[in-house]
Amino acid sequence: MTTEESRPRLKWARSQRFRLTARGEEAHTSWKTALAAAQNHGKSAFDTAQGDWAKSFKISPDDATYVSELAPAPLRVEDIEKAFTDLGISRQSVKDSLLRLYEAGLVEPAPV
């Protein structure tokens, strides 16, 4: 049995685009529903909805942002990083999130 520390990191080409899988599309729909239910109920309702949503997919609550960003079309790491420049999200954070989403079966490399 491998531990997280011994598991090899996945590597993709710089030009690799990522897209949501069918499960990822379900996650996106589920996130939009949870977000709509929490709307107008304050930040704690949002945080609770985001946390519950993430737990159901075994990912980080912050991954909701990445799922939403990938919903319209496949994107490269660089594209996602640029979209979040104003938020101060690092390239490594983008890669970490994509790895979590990939391991959860929510994203996959898009065919070239």
Give the pLDDT confidence of 62-74 residue by residue, as tens digits. 999 999 999 999 9
The answer as to whether 73 is a domain residue is yes
Q: How confident is the model at residue 45 (pLDDT cuts 50, 70, 90)?
A: very high
Give the other-Cβ count within 10 Å of 70's Cβ. 24
Please give the pLDDT value at position 87.
86
The answer to the question of residue 11 being in a domain is no
Q: Does residue 35 sit within a domain? A: yes
pLDDT of res. 86: 84
Prediction pTM value: 0.84
Q: How many CA atoms lie within 13 A of 79 on its CB side?
A: 15
Distance of alpha carbon 20 from alpha carbon 101, whole angstroms: 9
Q: How many domains does the chain have?
A: 1
* CB-based contact 70:24 (threshold 8 Å): yes
Domain extent at residue 89: 17-109
